[in-house]
Amino acid sequence: MENQITNVNEYEEIAKQKLPKMVYDFYASGAEDQWTLKENRDAFSRILLRPRILIDVSKVDMTTSVLGFKISMPIMIAPTGMQKMAHPQGECAIARAASAASTIMTLSIVSNYSYDEVASTGPGIRFFQLYIFKDRNLVTQLVRRAERAGFKAVVLTVDRPFIGRREADIKNGFRLPPNMTLKNFERLDFGEQTKAGSSISQARRQFDASLNWKDVKWLQTITSLPILLKGILTAEDARIAVQAGVAGIIVSNHGARQLDYVPASIMVLEEIVKAVEGRIPVFVDGGIRRGTDVYKALALGASAVFIGRAAVFSLAAEGESGVRKVLKMLRDELQLTMALSGSPSLKHITRSHIFTHSDRTTVPSNL
């Protein structure tokens, strides 16, 4: 039992030992000085819990609904690219683990398994992540493929007009291993560039720096699926997102991989929740490694959270089994946190259950 894995963080060290340096660094590193990467974790440690006592917690209910889909817990899997580098079964293994846990998996557009291949792993609620490329016909083709494969929502990443400066990737000369492709780009109509369609360089050349709110409106004209905007960090943009008619917001700094020295996602979550005034659900990702992290996010107003690196590192360490274990660990930790905090269900998790830096000069009204 001495070597038993007891928490999510331990999977990262195992992944580091097992993966080639170039691959581990690709998953683990952030942009430039990596200040935000560290802050994504450190910020959670500055939020303290205020447990309530003598409340019946003999039964703790963690079930919830996301866009009308019932899931077992408010913990979902975020899109992470090129997962076959972590394990041969890649995205298919994570899809099976998410389905077994009765939660939602989001497939990255730059996945090594296609929409159809992931859908063929069995039943499950799955979203797909999307970039809007320069070639709008390419975007339409991708959306149609995902729709036909049964994906239930679009997660539109909006914080990447250019790729952030990830110095570890520069030093390592990062490249996709020669035996791997970006499956969703195969057999698409790239016009005269069809033959290069599955390469990562081709995908990167398609990023559109002119992306703006009009393109969100355009996306709504080509699909009836609900659209979540991933990459919102300010109240101002959250209000515009509501006006644009999107189905929800994911508060995210792209795993600290884009712009360094932006706040941790958890630090701006409450600002965004207040800005949307309950009109659409708000989700959050970034730095979540504990059930207490999930609880804190819910107390700040998140409807649910997404995990990214935690899933990929566990995939690298133990394949599908590792991802299942991570989801169970987080579920068990959240259940225990809820019980010890006096929250028998998600609706009983309130702002008064936590204490943040901004609360130091105020006293909760219900004390």
Which backbone phi and psi does 101 adopt, to 5 degrees?
Answer: -90, 0
Q: Per the structure block, which two tokens stand in for 268?
A: 């701006």
Q: Tell me which DSSP letter residue 177 carries.
A: -
Query: Of 254, 348, 353, 357, which one is the catalytic site residue?
Result: 254
Amino acid at 169: D
Angle, helix 10-18 to helix 309-341, in steps of 10 degrees: 170
Burial class of residue 162 (count of CB atoms within 10 Å of its CB; 0-12, 13-18, 19+): exposed
Largest CA distance in the chain: 69
Q: Which two tokens stand for residue 329?
A: 């660990």
E-assigned strands of the chain? Answer: 48-49, 64-66, 69-71, 75-77, 105-107, 126-130, 154-157, 227-232, 248-251, 282-285, 304-307, 354-355
DSSP 272: H
Q: Which residues face 76 on adjacent strands?
A: 306
CA-CA distances (angstroms) from residue 102 to 126, 321, 355? 11, 15, 31
CA–CA separation, 135 and 228 (whole Å)? 21
Q: Are 273 and 26 in contact (CB under 8 A)?
A: no
In three-state secondary structure terms, 305 is: strand
- 348 is annotated as an active-site residue: no
Element (H, E) at 242: helix 235-243
As annotated, the active-site residues are 254
